[in-house]
Chains A and B, each alone.
Chain A
């Protein structure tokens, strides 16, 4: 296991391969995420970013390779253990994925119902819900239905839901896609605030260069199913490699 400053990564992917029919989407992808780090994975549409993040939380099964989260290989875990491990991970979906038959309060209460006791969260559920909503500036929407919220508000409520179990890792799948530039900036600022407040490690999948520039400590460029290039934003944006440059044009 690699170490950064003597610390083991909180999340590690080794040689991940995933094919659909004859189409190789991931072809030996590797990644390490360290505590407190914001790691951005960039790639073109269809490069396999979302497939990678879905393999990471067990929503898809990889053909081969290992995925270790907090030293547990999720490809080897039983369903019950995987469910427990998942409580340490918050996931912000591209389309927010709020439960549209439930109010905002019920959306946030949903993960708490099963895991509150086990995670030994001492506060009352209502307090946790209000705290999470106030951290994203939307406490007043607690009794609204998701359909009554704007796209940006839905994204923020989804982030509050991802944070409700106080996870150590947050996975963001295209957090700014489909939002206007102003709302995108608000979401990016919110992501930074979240990291300060909750002391989380974040893996951000995006093709938004502005988002990557503001949020990333380190970046990986995913091309043809492998890590094509790796480094900080300034290192990669100044690269002479045409394939790398293609990401930073405009």
Chain B
């Protein structure tokens, strides 16, 4: 009886949370098109999320391309197919691995940052102070962060992809004596818009998910400093799961419209 009550409570709180997130998302769409617009704060957030994530994304992308090429090389060599390396790596990175890995990195860097920042603002009554001063904290804090994350993620992913290809080219140059020019010629020969466009569209959704979950968890944080840690942690965990769900849907939709 107790066990069934606990299960029922968990199911109930799960659906309540889904409802709360849906309401939060609805409120975002209501507020995002309504003036006054907080352009300065939006730019500040874009700078914080974009510029300050570049190094992390760059290093991750570089290592990703490097390792991916190093690991794939022996297998391709067994089949005498090293010449396919640029096209295989570029399609894999641009379509799937780049967006997902960079988005996961950003979920950790950006999502947890938003969750912790808003969470600490909530528990120290800073959000209440904004509300009492007659300013809409949702518009100032939440809308700007979600829009900034949605705009910055595609750019960060493009940057990460480019640097990953550079890392891959470096390995090919050292190990296979392939020139950078030849490598990138092959990359651009094999990449099509139908590879790039769905991946870019998908990355907007990744950014939206990172911003939304981070803001939701932080904005409704409670239980003091423990709650801030929980908000930050939950932002990363929930976002990471959501990214894979979005990725699955994106691949499914891409298959329908472009064919994989």
Which chain A residues have a beta carbon within 8 Å of chain B's beta carbons?
54, 57-59, 83-84, 86-87, 89, 91, 93-95, 97-101, 110-111, 113-115, 161, 165
**Interface membership of chain B positions 31-63, coded 1 if the CB is closer than 8 angstroms to chain A and 0 otherwise:** 000001000000000000000000000000000
The reply to whether B135 and A114 contact each other, CB–CB distance below 8 Å, is yes
Q: Which residues of A contact B131 (CB under 8 A)?
A: 58-59, 86
The reply to whether B133 and A93 contact each other, CB–CB distance below 8 Å, is no
A sample of 5 inter-chain contacts (CB < 8 A) reads: A86-B133, A97-B125, A100-B126, A101-B117, A161-B133
CB distance from B168 to the nearest CB of A (A): 39
The reply to whether A93 and B134 contact each other, CB–CB distance below 8 Å, is no
Instruction: List the 6 closest pairs (A to B, CB-CB), nearest first.
Output: A111-B133, A97-B129, A97-B125, A83-B134, A86-B134, A91-B132
Known interface pairs A89-B132, A114-B135; A99-B36 also in contact (CB < 8 Å): no
Other A-B pairs beyond A86-B133, A110-B135, 9, CB < 8 Å: A86-B131, A86-B134, A89-B132, A93-B125, A95-B125, A97-B128, A111-B133, A114-B134, A115-B134
B77 at the interface (CB under 8 A from A): no
The reply to whether B124 and A110 contact each other, CB–CB distance below 8 Å, is no
Residue in A closest to B133 when the chains form the complex, CB atoms: A111
A209 to B131, CA, bound (A): 30
The reply to whether A114 and B36 contact each other, CB–CB distance below 8 Å, is yes
Total count of chain B residues near the partner, CB < 8 A = 16
Residue in A closest to B36 when the chains form the complex, CB atoms: A114
The reply to whether A110 and B130 contact each other, CB–CB distance below 8 Å, is yes
B13 at the interface (CB under 8 A from A): no
The reply to whether A57 and B132 contact each other, CB–CB distance below 8 Å, is yes
B136 at the interface (CB under 8 A from A): yes
From A54, A86, A95, A111, give the contact of B124 (CB < 8 A).
A95
Q: Which residues of B contact A115 (CB under 8 A)?
A: 134
Q: Which residues of B contact A57 (CB under 8 A)?
A: 132
**Interface membership of chain B positions 92-124, coded 1 if the CB is closer than 8 angstroms to chain A and 0 otherwise:** 000000000000000000000000010011001
